[in-house]
Structure 1
Amino acid sequence: MLNDKSTYTIGSVIMAFNEVCPERLDLIHQHYRKLCRMLVDAEEWGQIAIIGLLIRYARTQFLNPNPQGIKSSTKKKSQAFYSDESSDSSSSSVDKLFALDPDHDLLLKSCMPLLQSRNTAVVLSVVKLFYYLAPEQEAYKMGKSLVKLLRSHREIQYVVLKNIMVIATQRPNLFEPHLQQFFVRATDPAFIRNLKLEIMTLIATESNITFLLRELQEYVKSPNKDFATSAIQAIGRCAIRMPEMAENCLNGLMKLLWSKNDAIVGEAVLVIKRLLQLRPHDNVEMITQLAKALDQITVPMARASIFWLVGQYAQKLELIAPDILRKAAKDFSNSDDVVKLQVITLAAKLVCLHPTDHTLGLLYEYIMNLARYDVNYNIRDRARMLKGLRGEQRLGEEDGDEKKVGILTERMETILLGEKEAPVESLSVGSCKYTLGSMSLVLDHPMPGYEPLPDWPTKKPVASVRNTAVDSYDRTFTVQGFGSDSFSRFTQSSTYSTPKRDRVQYDLDNFYDSTESEVETEEETEEESDENSEESEETETSSEENDTDDQQRHRLITKTS
């Protein structure tokens, strides 16, 4: 059945092949070129099956077109969304640095028209083919086709956005010209909004970051708390990806500290904490502003973050750090557990920096005594560990062993005041574990029947296996049978002989021309018959006028009967 040239059956044949013997790719050698040429004429779901088979075949029979890997910085000149790509599609697909195999190039050119398909699954299959098989210089053709699919239903939007997010992690330049297409609409559900925010942070560049931040600031004003906090997180990711814009992002986030929405204030503090860790040498002023807003912040995680920042940079905050510890000790019993842990650590850091300060010593003892009888065992263990470390230092002081005191003091400073590594923002973690366009990618879980793509061969396979005596496929013969090439042979060998004109192999290009000529001939014949009928009626009318009354009455009765 692989020898059949009918576009009506080839899709079902490939589906059966994938079910029966998907590993027997050697059976496809002599049919590869025919499948490439038949791809455009096949039915939609057959096209998906054929493309999936050809992707697996190409990964085993051709060399990697990008031997140096993908360089996300390489950019194609961006075009307007409605610009004409006819000149681009007609250009050769051969890379200047890497010459593609002619059969490899044939596959890419055969799939190019399907980027305009009305079926979303077909477009995703072609995008998958270009993502894994096309040279880097040809990958720009995927961006516009995927963006067009965002105008469909929200279920389709979700699948498309998941695939766009994976592509944007490696090739963000494909979607930079279409940034506005990912702006959040008021009618978008939550799962669509989060993906759009993630994609916008991935495709942010120096040219559009200002425009993007202005849009994100509008999202922060949303009455939806979850959406507002997600927008704040997106601003933080933009600042981490582009350190030169971190100052502008911090200034915008600092203004949110005076918001009346506790959720926005808390999320802003968390993001500011991560950003301040990226610039440890210029944080005094902003930490001071955070400390001033401490009385108005009620979110436990945000308060804990401020206490951590004060303790981590306490050497630069000698004037305000003791007073912050005093305020924290007054409200220690009523604080949340996560806040208590940071207050205990703050007290230990300040005592480590100023071991001779009597007031700090009393505050330290007061907080440790409260933590000793706390209900939470984590707080009790933290207090016991820190107090025991300082008690061992005091034991050394009583023995007069200055060397031991110095080692313990240095060790305590290393434990409490050592430099902490800046957080690494992991964007789209795990999104590239599965093949593009698969259900496993959408669900982020391996589904039954999922198989990864095979690796590229290290040596170029023999190309002569695809050379066959008969591999041509002519589109002019696609209407000669009833879904199979054997139909015409069956009608010729049967006892019923069709007229000679019915066995003519019509050419699709001249089919409609012949149909129009036949229609004109039929119209002329109908006009002649109408004229003849009118002449006969006139003759009858004249004869009736010449007849007598009795004859007319007799003729009328005869017509009625």
Structure 2
Amino acid sequence: MSGHDSKYFSTTKKGEIPELKEELNSQYKDKRKDAVKKVIAAMTVGKDVSSLFTDVVNCMQTENLELKKLVYLYLINYAKSQPDLAILAVNTFVKDSQDPNPLIRALAVRTMGCIRVDKITEYLCDPLQRCLKDDDPYVRKTAAICVAKLYDINAELVEDRGFLEALKDLISDNNPMVVANAVAALAEIQDSSVRPVFEITSHTLSKLLTALNECTEWGQVFILDSLSRYKAADAREAENIVERVTPRLQHANCAVVLSAVKIILLQMELITSTDVVRNLCKKMAPPLVTLLSAEPEIQYVALRNINLIVQKRPTILAHEIKVFFCKYNDPIYVKMEKLEIMIKLASDRNIDQVLLEFKEYATEVDVDFVRKAVRAIGRCAIKLERAAERCISVLLELIKIKVNYVVQEAIIVIKDIFRRYPNTYESIIATLCESLDTLDEPEAKASMIWIIGEYAERIDNADELLESFLETFPEEPALVQLQLLTATVKLFLKKPTEGPQQMIQAVLNNATVETDNPDLRDRAYIYWRLLSTDPEAAKDVVLAEKPVISDDSNQLDSSLLDELLANISTLSSVYHKPPESFVSRVKAAPRADDEEFADTAETGYSESPSQGVDGASPSSSVGTSSNVPVKQPAAGSPPAPAAMPDLLGDLMGMDNAIVPVDEPAPSSPPLPILLPSTTGQGLQISAQLTRRDGQIYYDISFENGTQGVLDGFMIQFNKNTFGLAAGEALKVPPLQPGTSARTLLQMVPFQNISPGAPNSLLQVAVKNNQQPVWYFNDKIPLHVFFVEDGKMERASFLEAWKSLPDDHEFTKELPGSVISSIDATVERLAASNVFFIAKRKNGNMDVLYLSAKMPRGIPFLIEITAAVGVPGVKCAVKTPNKEMVPLFFEAMEVLTK
């Protein structure tokens, strides 16, 4: 609506609805048009004008495009609440979809896709089918998006009516915008489908690359993002793709540039020629630099992406460090990101200009930024051995300025430099000691105390310095108390004279009798016993060589970095988290077939009702940087818990419902005991891994058989084959004597992977505030990794079985397993995402065919042979991942027991 239409919003008359009704039925076109505008205005400000539905729909019969748009807008809004009346509009839609004006045909199709009413959906298929083959490209591109909308409403209908095939045909369209919209629609459908819908072949690849040159910027983003899922067959094809994509680096739209960078980085992995790689690195630098001249918000997104890129390929921007120098008017969030990247790009060649910059930043007014700059100098010293001396001299100059928080940060980083280069820069300790009186921050105090204790033999008045801290020992934070305790013990071991002897007595007394901090008390008791029984052993423990610390500027695990790089230009690369940790989508449930189990003589196969799961399942992809579609779970299915704890849920303590063990949750069987109370000094821990709603949880129960309250529970998992780690803090309330608590701890896989042959060992450590750390072992059952979309169609199962070579087939007898009922077994297996496909008879034996899938698409094709009620089951499996077969048989033994 235009500006002068505001008058429609300011009506004060009574009887508004009857008046509008009258105007809508007027014989004059202009009056009807004005009436529809008034209705839309009323609807926009929240008035209920649904009673005018029939009258507004009557106005659809018009040639006036503006009026038609308004009526369609009204329809979209009220069709859901008036489904029976909405059917009245169907005829007009069907008529409009054949209108000679392509704008009206497209408008009809666009609106049909927005009316989410099941009764109407079927009527829209024929018009949509025509529009997908329309002569006008504008209509075809609108129809392509409509298919994705229709899939969201009724996936089965889209497949039955062949719309997916029609979309795939549009990829060969001669209009680039139609191609782009077809790709966007297919990518959207793929994200919510459990089956492969959109696979790029070498044939469609060339079509997409051709369309890339001519479509709009968002069309290019859709095409580039779908191309990033394509893995080139060899180096030559990779070079060809890169060559065709490189011109996109010159584009004015940042999203296009970043999507092009993503493809080039992914294809560079396959390119073997170093000259080609060097050239590509040169070509990628200028567009990335150009992104930094945009407004601050875009700069920030670019910097977060560049942060990932330089961790993988630092050479791309090695010569461009100057563009990351902070400007005085940069917002703080941009400055912080630039600092991070400067540390990553710092090298022996450019360290002098980098240090000059950092020194400049350390005199700025923003305290947080100053601290970060001082830390950055220290991190560069740890990263570059040859530059360490220059970094130290800059830090000393900063200490001489005597700005309190600068001095404190400098001391914190100098402690790390001493750890990195032992016995090299100790000459500066005297200068550091001059600043002792000004220290008031725990971390700085603790660092200074560590330095005094570590180099006590070189500091003449070390005992006096430590004594000045000891006066306030009881009031100090735990961090400082722990360092004071250790430093005093070091001083005593290095100079066992009278002064330190009295000091150690006072400290040990304070740290054991006067404190209620278990960490401090335990450490003090250990030192006390060591010193009183074997001073030499104490020396070996306390004064042992410390491991040298390393550069921490590239903190991301290589597999996580690769996953984030595959998601460049999406939210994933801004958060630096994989998509599934913050986006959950509802996958379309596999289609159900009505046939019951039946022996089919011709093929020996039969289909079962599909064991589809409605639950939300994490997607591996986020939308482009402009638009991140996050679908709500379908009604009736619980949303998948976010992999990162939701802050509000955390505060309200609702993330992990605590279920008392004496009243286990319905159908929760008792958990296996992993730490019996005899071993745990009265604490009993039972636990096992489980899968719910597409997520892995550690179902863990604590039983307090001690005489006191146990609280402060924490848990840690050692590196393991699947990289399982805790995805959140363990939430267990303080346990009163004789009570118990059970909680679900969310787990995240592939975080902390141990090398070597796969095994099912899970090593767990649990601590609380009252007891030592308890270590115990658990088993990782492979079936907790079986994904919800592991069901295969019969034809694709047969095809996959034939395509895998014979040396990928393994068989094992499971003597302890027994199948008492086929139906019950199928149901139990389906609950663990092992899906029934067919069965046949072989003499008196039943042969079941099933499928399961692990993340990253690793399938298991399973054949189980057994006689009902007779112990002993023969299990055969075919899978591309041979290493997992022993763990797979372990899982099947558990599931068929």
TM-score, reference length from structure 2: 0.42
- Conserved in 2, the CA contact under 8 Å of 1:131 and 1:139? no
- Conserved in 2, the CA contact under 8 Å of 1:322 and 1:360? yes
What is the CA deviation profile of residues 514-539 of structure 1, one whole-angstrom value per residue up to 9, with x for unaligned ones?
Answer: xxxxxxxxxxxxxxxxxxxxxxxxxx
Shift of residue 375, structure 1, vs aligned partner: 4.1
Shift of residue 175, structure 1, vs aligned partner: 1.2
What pairs up with 1:124-163 in 2 under 5 angstroms? 124-134=258-268, 135=271, 136-137=277-278, 138-163=280-305
What is the aligned counterpart of 1:173 among 309, 315, 318? Answer: 315
What is the aligned counterpart of 1:419 among 545, 550, 565? Answer: 545
What is the aligned counterpart of 1:429 among 529, 547, 555? Answer: 555
Shift of residue 149, structure 1, vs aligned partner: 1.1
What pairs up with 1:101-500 in 2 under 5 angstroms? 101=237, 104-134=238-268, 135=271, 136-137=277-278, 138-317=280-459, 319-333=460-474, 335-355=476-496, 357-378=497-518, 379-391=520-532, 393=533, 408-430=534-556, 432=561, 433-434=563-564, 435=566, 436-445=568-577, 446=579, 447-448=583-584, 450-451=619-620
Shift of residue 248, structure 1, vs aligned partner: 0.9
SS at match of 2:326: coil
- Conserved in 1, the CA contact under 8 Å of 2:512 and 2:525? yes
Q: What amino acid is the match of 1:429?
A: Q
Q: For the residues of structure 2 that align with 1:332 and 1:105, how far apart are their CA atoms?
A: 65
> Match for residue 205 of structure 2?
32
SS at match of 2:551: coil
> Match for residue 14 of structure 1?
183
Q: For the residues of structure 1 that align with 2:474 and 2:210, how far apart are their CA atoms?
A: 77
SS at match of 1:201: helix
Shift of residue 426, structure 1, vs aligned partner: 2.0
Give me the identity figure in percent: 29
Q: What amino acid is the match of 1:320?
A: N
Shift of residue 421, structure 1, vs aligned partner: 1.6
Bigger fraction of residues in helix: 1
Shift of residue 333, structure 1, vs aligned partner: 4.6
What is the aligned counterpart of 1:44 among 203, 214, 217? Answer: 217
Bigger fraction of residues in strand: 2
- Conserved in 1, the CA contact under 8 Å of 2:171 and 2:207? no
Q: For the residues of structure 2 that align with 1:20 and 1:265, how far apart are their CA atoms?
A: 57
> Match for residue 557 of structure 1?
none
Q: For the residues of structure 2 that align with 1:333 and 1:24, how far apart are their CA atoms?
A: 66
The 3 A distance-change label for structure 1 pair 39 and 215 is: same
Q: For the residues of structure 2 that align with 1:272 and 1:265, how far apart are their CA atoms?
A: 10
Shift of residue 297, structure 1, vs aligned partner: 2.4
Q: For the residues of structure 2 that align with 1:105 and 1:38, how far apart are their CA atoms?
A: 18
- Conserved in 2, the CA contact under 8 Å of 1:201 and 1:237? yes
Q: What amino acid is the match of 2:571?
A: M
Gaps of 5+ in 1: 66-99, 394-407, 454-561
What is the CA deviation profile of residues 303-355 of structure 1, one whole-angstrom value per residue up to 9, with x for unaligned ones?
Answer: 221111121233444x2323323333344355444323222222222222344
Q: For the residues of structure 2 that align with 1:233 and 1:155, how far apart are their CA atoms?
A: 25
Shift of residue 275, structure 1, vs aligned partner: 0.6
More deviation, 125-134/212-221: 125-134
Shift of residue 107, structure 1, vs aligned partner: 2.3
What is the CA deviation profile of residues 370-422 of structure 1, one whole-angstrom value per residue up to 9, with x for unaligned ones?
Answer: 4344344244443333223222x2xxxxxxxxxxxxxx233211221111122
- Conserved in 2, the CA contact under 8 Å of 1:51 and 1:125? yes
Shift of residue 26, structure 1, vs aligned partner: 5.4
Q: For the residues of structure 2 that align with 1:409 and 1:364, how far apart are their CA atoms?
A: 13
Shift of residue 438, structure 1, vs aligned partner: 2.6
Superposition RMSD in Å? 2.4
Q: For the residues of structure 2 that align with 1:198 and 1:144, how far apart are their CA atoms?
A: 20
Q: For the residues of structure 2 that align with 1:182 and 1:352, how far apart are their CA atoms?
A: 48
- Conserved in 1, the CA contact under 8 Å of 2:383 and 2:550? no
Aligned length: 397
The 3 A distance-change label for structure 1 pair 360 and 54 is: closer
The 3 A distance-change label for structure 1 pair 411 and 117 is: same
Q: For the residues of structure 2 that align with 1:365 and 1:148, how far apart are their CA atoms?
A: 64
> Match for residue 229 of structure 2?
56
Q: For the residues of structure 1 that align with 2:324 and 2:498, how far apart are their CA atoms?
A: 59
The 3 A distance-change label for structure 1 pair 208 and 283 is: closer
Q: What amino acid is the match of 1:423?
A: I
What pairs up with 1:513-532 in 2 under 5 angstroms? none
The 3 A distance-change label for structure 1 pair 382 and 27 is: closer
> Match for residue 660 of structure 2?
none
What is the CA deviation profile of residues 21-68 of structure 1, one whole-angstrom value per residue up to 9, with x for unaligned ones?
Answer: 5735556443322321221101211111111222222x1x423x4xxx
Q: For the residues of structure 2 that align with 1:280 and 1:105, how far apart are their CA atoms?
A: 48
What is the CA deviation profile of residues 267-302 of structure 1, one whole-angstrom value per residue up to 9, with x for unaligned ones?
Answer: 110001001112212243222322232123232321
Q: For the residues of structure 2 that align with 1:387 and 1:109, how far apart are their CA atoms?
A: 69
Q: For the residues of structure 2 that align with 1:203 and 1:122, how far apart are their CA atoms?
A: 25
- Conserved in 1, the CA contact under 8 Å of 2:171 and 2:182? yes
- Conserved in 2, the CA contact under 8 Å of 1:36 and 1:106? no
Q: For the residues of structure 1 that align with 2:197 and 2:466, how far apart are their CA atoms?
A: 72
The 3 A distance-change label for structure 1 pair 141 and 344 is: same
Q: For the residues of structure 2 that align with 1:413 and 1:255, how far apart are their CA atoms?
A: 36
Shift of residue 231, structure 1, vs aligned partner: 0.5
Shift of residue 428, structure 1, vs aligned partner: 4.3
Q: What amino acid is the match of 1:383?
A: A
SS at match of 1:56: coil
Q: What amino acid is the match of 1:261?
A: V
Shift of residue 443, structure 1, vs aligned partner: 1.6
Q: What amino acid is the match of 1:304?
A: A
Q: For the residues of structure 2 that align with 1:203 and 1:3, how far apart are their CA atoms?
A: 44
- Conserved in 1, the CA contact under 8 Å of 2:171 and 2:178? no
> Match for residue 542 of structure 1?
none
Q: What amino acid is the match of 1:206?
A: D
More deviation, 149-158/119-128: 149-158
Q: For the residues of structure 2 that align with 1:112 and 1:130, how far apart are their CA atoms?
A: 8
SS at match of 1:151: coil
Q: For the residues of structure 2 that align with 1:26 and 1:452, how far apart are their CA atoms?
A: 15
Structure with bigger RCO (C-alpha 8 Å, 6+ apart): 1
- Conserved in 2, the CA contact under 8 Å of 1:274 and 1:422? no
Q: What amino acid is the match of 1:264?
A: V
SS at match of 1:202: helix
SS at match of 2:435: helix
- Conserved in 2, the CA contact under 8 Å of 1:165 and 1:199? yes
Q: For the residues of structure 2 that align with 1:252 and 1:21, how far apart are their CA atoms?
A: 55
Q: For the residues of structure 2 that align with 1:151 and 1:142, how far apart are their CA atoms?
A: 16
What is the CA deviation profile of residues 201-245 of structure 1, one whole-angstrom value per residue up to 9, with x for unaligned ones?
Answer: 111122211011101100000011101001011111211121101
The 3 A distance-change label for structure 1 pair 334 and 48 is: closer
SS at match of 1:309: helix
